[in-house]
Amino acid sequence: MPWQKTFRLPYQTKGMHLVTREVVRECEEGLRGVDVGIFTLNCMHTSAGLTVNENADPSVRTDMDMALDKIVPESFPWEHTDEGPDDSVSHLKTSLVGNSITLPISKGKLVLGTWQGIYLAEFRYSGNGWAGKGEGRKVVATILP
């Protein structure tokens, strides 16, 4: 039976945030009893993304954030800055990273490599746009057995 749940990942400041535990906790009910299936997680925002990457060494998070800052610098003369200098920057980074992930399910568990984790890529600074509200990012998890 297909399963779907909408929930919020905790509010985070700009950066790469490991959210594997939160995602698994929120989706335990849907994963239970699924022998083989597909899991998708979609971020419902245009200024934050989702990705899978190494979860063992925290410096990977810093490196990912630093590399994206070099690829899409705030110093460009961006036109769309309604919510601050990181407005267009955050939208472009979301397009590069993506706003969803897909993972296999096996025996009721998400299939991740030994050193893999799910990351929320937060591209907004605190106080700009949505970030000042502290609501967290809305995501939709879907499980297809």
CA distance 97 to 70: 14
Residue 83's pLDDT is 86
* Number of CB atoms found within 10 A of residue 61's CB: 19
The domain total for the chain is 1
Render each residue's pLDDT in the chain as its tens digit; 145 residues. 999 999 999 888 899 999 999 999 999 999 999 999 999 999 999 999 999 999 999 999 999 999 999 999 999 999 999 888 899 999 999 999 999 999 999 999 999 999 999 999 999 986 445 554 668 899 999 999 9
| CATH number for 57 | 2.60.120.460
Residue 129's pLDDT is 53
Residue 130's pLDDT is 54
Provide the residue range defining the domain that includes 32.
3-144
DSSP-derived pairing of the beta strands 137-144 and 109-110: unpaired
- Residue among 134, 144, 121, 141 at smallest CA distance from 23: 141
Residue 80's pLDDT is 95
Residue 133's pLDDT is 62
Do residues 143 and 102 touch, judged by C-beta distance below 8 A? no
Model pLDDT for residues 34-58, shown as the tens digit of each residue: 999 999 999 999 999 999 999 999 9
